[in-house]
A and B are shown apart, each in its own frame.
Chain A
Amino acid sequence: MTDATVSTPVTATGLVPAPEPASSSRAQNRKARKNAAKGPKRKITWDLVWAQRALLAMAVPLLLYQILFKYVPVYGWAIAFQNFKPARGSSPWPGPRSLWNQQWVGLENFYNLFTGVMGERFIRVVINTIGQSVLTLTVGTLGAIVLALLLNEVKNLPFKRVLQNITYMPHFLSWVIVASMASVALSLPSSGGFINQGLMSLHIIDQPILFLTEPNYFWGIVAGTNLWKELGWNTIIYLAAITAIDPSLYESAEVDGAGRFRKMFSITLPSIRPTIVVLLIINSGWILSTNFELPYFLGNGLVSDRSETIDVFVLRYGYELGNYSLAIVAGIFKTIVAVILVGAANQAAKRLNQETLV
Chain B
Amino acid sequence: MSSTTVAKPLARRAARGGSRRRKWTTERIIFTTLNTTFLLALAAVMVYPLLNTLAISLNDGMDAVRGGIGIWPRDFSLQNYNVVFNMHTIYQAFFISVLKTVVVVATNLFFTSMLAYALSRTEFIFRRPITVIFVLTMYFDAGLIPNYLLIKDLGMLNTFQAYWVPTIISAFNLIILRTYIKSIPEEIIESARMDGAGEFRTWWQIVMPLCKPALAVVGLFVAVGSWNAWLDTLLYASGNPALTTLQYELQKLLSSSMNAGVNSVAATGAAASGGQVTTPIALRSAITMVAAVPILFVYPFLQKHFVSGLMIGSVKG
Contacts and interface: CB of A to CB of B under 8 A. Distances in A.
Interface of A: 14-15, 17, 36-39, 44, 48-49, 52, 54-56, 58-59, 62-63, 65-77, 79, 86, 90-93, 99, 147, 150-151, 153-155, 161-174, 176-178, 181, 184, 191-192, 228-229, 231-232, 236-237, 239-249, 251-252, 259-260, 271, 274-275, 278, 282, 285-286, 324, 327-328, 331-332, 334-335, 338-339, 342, 355, 357-358
Contacts of B36: 154
B52 interface: yes
19 contacts: A52-B124, A59-B119, A63-B133, A68-B150, A70-B142, A73-B149, A74-B142, A99-B145, A154-B36, A167-B42, A169-B47, A173-B50, A174-B288, A228-B45, A243-B213, A249-B7, A252-B10, A332-B140, A357-B131
B168 interface: yes
B303 to A, nearest CB: 5
A218 to B, nearest CB: 21
B13 A251 contact: yes
B115 A58 contact: yes
Nearest to B115: A62
Contacts of A71: 133, 137
Given A54-B198, A240-B216, A243-B307, 19 more contacts: A48-B125, A56-B126, A58-B115, A62-B114, A93-B149, A161-B303, A166-B43, A169-B49, A177-B49, A181-B52, A229-B49, A243-B308, A243-B310, A246-B7, A247-B308, A286-B138, A286-B139, A338-B139, A342-B135
B46 A358 contact: no
A38 B143 CA distance: 35
Interface string B258-301: 00000000000000000000000000110010011001100110
A169 B183 contact: no
B72 interface: no
Interface of B: 1-3, 6-8, 10-11, 13-14, 19, 22, 27-28, 31-32, 35-36, 38-39, 42-43, 45-47, 49-50, 52-53, 67-68, 111, 114-115, 117-119, 121-128, 130-143, 145-147, 149-150, 152-153, 166, 168-169, 172, 175-176, 179-180, 182-184, 198-200, 203, 213-214, 216-217, 220, 224, 284-285, 288, 291-292, 295-296, 299-300, 303, 306-312
Contacts of B19: 155
Contacts of A68: 150
A247 B14 contact: yes
A82 B11 CA distance: 64
A243 B306 contact: yes
Contacts of B183: 241, 244, 271, 274
Contacts of A231: 46
A99 B139 CA distance: 23
Contacts of B179: 274-275, 278, 355
Contacts of B203: 58
B164 to A, nearest CB: 12
A93 B151 CA distance: 13
A154 B42 contact: no
A55 B199 contact: yes
Contact of A358 (B53, B128, B300): B128
B3 A62 contact: no
A153 B296 contact: no
Given A59-B115, A165-B299, A77 B49 contact: no
Given A17-B3, A192-B67, A243-B306, A150 B39 contact: yes
Given A244-B213, A246-B309, A357 B47 contact: no
Nearest to B216: A240
B142 to A, nearest CB: 4
Among B19, B143, B175, the most chain A Cβ lie within 10 Å of the Cβ of B143
Contacts of B118: 55, 58-59
Given A70-B137, A163-B43, A278-B179, A240 B213 contact: yes
Task: Name the prevailing secondary structure of the B interface residues.
Answer: helix
Contacts of B125: 39, 44, 48-49, 52
B130 A63 contact: yes
A170 B49 contact: yes
Nearest to A341: B139
Given A243-B310, A246-B309, A79 B180 contact: no
A54 B199 contact: yes
Contacts of B306: 239-240, 243
A91 B284 contact: no
Which of A55, A166, A260, A332 has most B Cβ within 10 Å?
A55
B139 A177 contact: no
B308 A66 contact: no
Contacts of B141: 331
A200 to B, nearest CB: 18
Contact of A248 (B7, B28, B68, B300): B7
B169 A66 contact: yes
Contacts of A36: 122
A65 B169 contact: yes
B213 A163 contact: no
B289 to A, nearest CB: 10
A48 B121 CA distance: 14
Given A228-B45, A260-B27, A358 B2 contact: no
B113 to A, nearest CB: 10
Contacts of B220: 236
A282 B175 CA distance: 9
Q: What 7 pairs across the A-B complex have the smallest Cβ distances?
A: A76-B146, A73-B146, A73-B142, A54-B199, A248-B10, A338-B139, A172-B292
